[in-house]
Amino acid sequence: MKPRKDLITIGSLSDEEINTILDSATAMKDIFTKSVKKVPALKGKSVLTLFYEPSTRTRSSFEVAAHRLSADVTTFTVGTSSVVKGESVHDTIDTLMSMKMDYIIVRHKNSGIPDVIARHCKAAVINAGDGAHAHPSQAFLDAFTIREKYGTVAGKRVVIIGDILHSRVARSTSTILQRLGAQVAYMGPGPLVPLQAHTGIPRFTNWDEVFDWKPDVIYLLRVQNERIDTPFFPAGDYHQAFGVTEERLKIIDDLDLGIMHPGPVNRGVELCDAAMEYRNCLVCNQVENGIAARMSILYHLTPQTQNND
């Protein structure tokens, strides 16, 4: 596999790169689930987490992954930085690169910012979510979780449910699953699910259609709390129309389907409480596999800085 500096989108990767990162994630998980918790793969390298939006799971997952590869980790807190005083992204990156960072993990509310950063610095840049555009590391951990559970992604059917239109998770996860040979379908409130003509992905309008399709995995997207009071997302109505209720959970159990969610879960909205205890609920697996997938991503990227020390 040729050296790659950045990970901005799944679409930018070759099939070989996708499979190599997934295969390596298996080895990475073996490392930290057994006696050895840390390896020196990135010893002496510096990793910066640069998050312009709030994040707990993704940022902490990347930080744990970097520590387990023996990298030095610095957290750049935008809310207490010069950014709030009007400093531009370019000026921020110039400042950070003067610190000789090797990896920058960036999340931003505006699509395209990680790519801009990648083109203006020598560090390896990882997109940890940009607007509604992409979230490639989430896609890798999702694919890894399905492969771990079922032995393969090829031939599996996955229904992604929720606000597809504004979801970077839906975009990136759909892309990687299709690249790996899975079938993907969408379901959610009508105005928030793109037409099949625009995506090539089947669109369902209710749970009967979902179950008739015979999926292997039900993937619920997080309903953003800031949208719950809008006409599209009254919490109780949403749960009854699109959530996994206790009644639907019985059907899911009978069909032996997996349940996934990128987190954090809004209980009583996307999932009933019982769904979190369901035998095929893979949400905790996704969290654990996020560390392995992100270790693999970091390991396979090559900063230009390493040749310019």
DSSP annotation string for 9-75: -STTS-HHHHHHHHHHHHHHHHHHHSS-----TTTT-EEEEEESS--SHHHHHHHHHHHHTT-EEEE
Question: Quick check: helix, strand or coil at residue 263?
Answer: coil
Q: Whose CA is closest to 201, among 179, 180, 183? A: 183
Res 195: pLDDT: 87
Residues 6+ apart with CB under 8 A from 205: 187, 190
Q: What φ, ψ does residue 270 adopt, rounded to 5°?
A: -75, -40
Residue 38 and residue 65: Cα distance in Å, rounded?
Answer: 9
What one-character-per-residue DSSP string does 202-229 give? -EESSHHHHHHT--SEEEEPPPPGGGTT
Residue keyed to tokens 């179950």: 211
Residue 109 and residue 254: Cα distance in Å, rounded?
Answer: 40
Residues 253-295 pLDDT 10s: 999 999 999 999 999 999 999 999 999 999 999 999 999 999 9
Residues 12-50 pLDDT 10s: 999 999 999 999 999 999 988 887 788 999 999 999 999
Res 169: pLDDT: 97
> 138: burial class by Cβ within 10 Å (0-12, 13-18, 19+)?
buried
- CB count within 10 Å of CB 49 equals 23
Residue 79 pairs with which residues in a beta bridge? none
Residue 219 and residue 262: Cα distance in Å, rounded?
Answer: 8
Residue 88 pLDDT class (50, 70, 90 cuts): confident
Res 230: pLDDT: 57
Weakest mean pLDDT among 56-65, 112-121, 218-227: 218-227
> Over 70: is that where the pLDDT of 248 sits?
yes
Average pLDDT over residues 69-89: 73
Average pLDDT over residues 194-223: 94
Residue 281 and residue 279: Cα distance in Å, rounded?
Answer: 6
> Over 80: is that where the pLDDT of 306 sits?
no
Res 87: pLDDT: 65
> Over 80: is that where the pLDDT of 171 sits?
yes
Tokens of 192: 């928030």
Between 195 and 22, residue with greater pLDDT: 22
